[in-house]
């Protein structure tokens, strides 16, 4: 019995794997270790997972033959599929990377899942970006999500549709998770908390889009991990009345103004930022806010980390990781 974690060298993947290892599970991790951002950070995350219960293979999920060969020696019972090409803005200039990783890769994992003898469940990463330009807040799972404003969002909605098909045709128990602005230690260098912290410490201006008139449902990594593991351990039942496929929002359920987040970050660092106010970027949205009542009801998900706690924890990690006193 083993948990497969795809994208295991990534921000959320490594954190999920760490929690599973801490409770004594066998974890099989795969990642293609691409250079979308510093590969050394990915290796450093993997180093925190090393041990007898962890097996890692470098493989691209878009390569079906290589993926099948890499997983052949293992008896996988749970799949946590987090590998993806992330980032809204990068999709504007590198669309093929998103199709390969997020669409072809999703099909390959679904095909693998339906071939697994004894599979208990598969959870996979979707995104709050599927809500596109929706103005109704908070975003709820039954809102329409057929008007994406980025290719990244379109690929994530495609993942949900493909999940429904595989649950319907092959009864694969599947759960999709629409993540809302995850942050915390070991995060990606293209994320706002990292970019802002790095710039402030170097005395450089921070780019504040939409002139700061933005809000995000910032969700701390530890809260996210608890939700990911909860839905993976308790897949949707197959009672024959509908496909065993559920999609949940997973967020903090408390949107924060971007300018307030910057205030909290400045306090944690002890330095005031030089703020460069800029227009909205293509593919971005002014606000995200998760209605999490469904995942609360079905899985007891209850985020507990406000940004006043989570941001200082991120700053402490950032300084330690970079050797900053």
pLDDT at 213: 86
Q: Is the pLDDT of residue 104 over 90?
A: yes
Mean pLDDT to the nearest integer, 220-240: 96
Pairing of strands 27-31, 2-6: parallel
The predicted pLDDT at position 287 comes to 84
Q: Which residue has the higher pLDDT, 282 or 275?
A: 275
**173-189 pLDDT per residue, tens:** 999 999 999 999 999 99
3-state SS assignment for residue 174: strand
User: At residue 27, does pLDDT exceed 80?
Assistant: yes
Predicted local distance difference test score (pLDDT) of residue 294 = 98
pLDDT at 283 over 80: no
Cα gap 62→171, rounded to integer Å = 23
Instruction: Name the band, by pLDDT with cuts 50, 70 and 90, for residue 140.
Output: very high
Which of 200-214, 215-229, 282-296 has maximum average pLDDT?
A: 215-229
Domain assignment present for residue 140? The answer is: yes
Within a domain: 320: no
For the chain, what is the domain count?
Answer: 1
Give the CATH number of the domain where residue 15 resides: 3.40.50.720
Look at residue 271 and tell me if it is in a domain.
no
Question: Does residue 268 belong to any structural domain of this protein?
Answer: no
Question: Residue 196: what pLDDT?
Answer: 97
Cβ–Cβ under 8 Å, residues 123 and 231: yes
| pLDDT of res. 201 | 97
In our burial notation (b when 16+ CB lie closer than 10 A, e otherwise), range 22-41 reads eeebbbbbbbbbeebbeeeb
The predicted structure's pLDDT at residue 211: 86
| Rounded Cα gap, residues 315 and 123, in angstroms | 30
- Residue 7 pLDDT class (50, 70, 90 cuts): very high
Residue 147 domain flag: yes
- Check 131, 152, 166, 289 and give the catalytic one: 152
User: β-pairing, 174-179 with 245-250?
Assistant: parallel
* 8 Å CB contact between 48 and 17: no
Which two three-digit tokens encode residue 299?
Answer: 């899985």
Task: Establish whether 152 is a catalytic residue.
Answer: yes
Residue 279 pLDDT: 92
First vs last C-alpha separation in the chain: 43
Confidence of residue 280 (pLDDT cuts 50, 70, 90): confident
What average pLDDT does this structure show over 53-61?
Answer: 98
CA 182 to chain centre: 7
Question: 19 is in which domain, residue-wise?
Answer: 2-180+220-253+291-304
Question: Helix, strand or coil for residue 88?
Answer: coil
| Letter string b/e over residues 273-296, b meaning 16 or more CB atoms within 10 A of that residue's CB | bebeeeeeeebebebbbbbbebbb
State residue 311's pLDDT score. Answer: 98
Residue 209 lies in a domain: no
What is the H or E stretch that residue 157 is in? helix 151-170
Average pLDDT over residues 97-117: 97
Within-domain flag for 314? no
Residue 266 domain-assigned? no
């Amino acid at each position: 019995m083993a948990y497969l974690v795809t994208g295991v060298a990534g921000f959320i993947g490594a954190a999920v794997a760490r929690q599973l290892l801490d409770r004594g599970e066998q974890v099989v991790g795969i990642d293609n270790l691409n250079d979308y951002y510093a590969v050394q950070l990915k290796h450093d995350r993997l180093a925190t997972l090393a041990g007898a219960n962890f097996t890692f293979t470098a493989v691209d999920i878009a390569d079906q033959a290589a993926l099948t060969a890499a997983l052949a020696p293992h008896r996988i019972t749970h799949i946590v599929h987090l590998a993806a090409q992330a980032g809204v803005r990068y999709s504007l200039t590198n669309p093929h990377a998103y199709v390969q990783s997020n669409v072809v890769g999703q099909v390959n994992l679904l095909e693998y899942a339906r071939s697994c003898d004894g599979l208990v469940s598969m959870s996979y990463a979707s995104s709050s970006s599927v809500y596109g330009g929706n103005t109704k807040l908070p975003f709820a799972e039954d809102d329409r999500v057929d008007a994406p404003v980025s290719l990244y969002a379109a690929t994530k909605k495609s993942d949900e549709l493909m999940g429904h098909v595989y649950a319907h045709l092959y009864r694969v128990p599947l759960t999709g998770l629409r993540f809302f602005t995850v942050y915390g230690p070991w995060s990606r260098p293209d994320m706002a908390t990292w970019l802002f912290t790095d710039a402030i410490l170097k005395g450089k201006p921070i780019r504040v889009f939409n002139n700061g008139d933005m809000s995000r449902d910032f969700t701390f990594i530890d809260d996210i991990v608890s939700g990911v593991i909860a839905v993976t351990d308790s897949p949707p039942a197959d009672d024959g009345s509908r496909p065993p496929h559920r999609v949940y929002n997973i967020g903090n359920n408390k949107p924060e103004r971007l300018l307030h987040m910057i205030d909290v970050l400045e306090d944690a660092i002890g330095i005031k930022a030089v703020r460069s106010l800029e227009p909205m970027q293509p593919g971005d949205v002014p606000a995200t806010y998760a209605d999490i009542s469904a995942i609360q009801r079905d899985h007891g998900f209850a985020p507990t980390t406000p940004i006043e706690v989570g941001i200082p924890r991120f700053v402490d990690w950032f300084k330690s990781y970079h050797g900053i006193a």
